[in-house]
Amino acid sequence: MESLLFFLQGIPESAGIVAVSLAVARVPLRWGRILLIGALLALLIFMIRALPFTFGLHTMVMLLLTVLFITKTTYTSLTKSFVAVFASALLLATLEILLHEFFFSLIGLETQKIVSDYLIWKLIGLPQAFLMLIVSILISWFYKPFESAWKK
């Protein structure tokens, strides 16, 4: 059950990081690729979190792999890829803080009780994942992507 909940929240969140990063880099959003990379990143994060590594390492690995993905599959420079990925990570962190505070005050439970209930904790994480996907669409709508940004 916990694995299913992890992927239920992890795939959209990872796909959101990739999508916002591509939108910031002005690369057209190709949802098949975005969802595939999001699923692969979520699987990798799941495996890393199961190992006895320092907490947070999975985040750095995901961000660096997203930079590598963008750099290798598009004509985006390494510098622009780093900026785009870290901007999307900053957006996700901001959304998480704002939405968690909102839900904590709405539910009225102590933070520790919410964190210890895996189902509630993962469900609280879903809105920012889907907001990331919506933000990526809005960014692409306002800042038109370069049509030839993907490598063949």
Q: What angle do CA 72, 84, 146 make, to 5 degrees?
A: 65
Residue 32, sorted as left (phi over 0), alpha (psi -120 to 50) or beta, turns out to be: alpha
Alpha carbon 152 to chain centroid, angstroms: 25
Is the pLDDT at 6 greater than 80, yes or no? yes
Q: 113 and 76 in contact (C-beta within 8 Å)?
A: no
pTM here is 0.92
- Go through the chain and tell me how many residues it has: 152
Q: What is the pLDDT of residues 9-35, one digit of tens each?
A: 999 999 999 999 999 999 999 999 999
Q: Does pLDDT of 40 surpass 80?
A: yes
Instruction: Return the pLDDT at 31.
Output: 98
37-56 burial, b if ≥16 CB within 10 A, otherwise e?
bbbebbeebeeeeeeeeeee
Q: Which residues, 6 or more positions from 76, have their beta carbon under 8 angstroms from its beta carbon?
A: 25, 27, 70, 84, 149
Confidence check: pLDDT of 111 > 80: no
Phi and psi at residue 77, in whole multiples of 5°? -70, 160
Residue 112 banded pLDDT, cuts 50, 70, 90: confident
Q: Where are the domains of the chain?
A: 2-142
pLDDT band for 53, please (50, 70, 90 cuts): confident
The mean per-residue pLDDT over the stretch 30-48 comes to: 95
How large is the average pLDDT for residues 56-71? 93
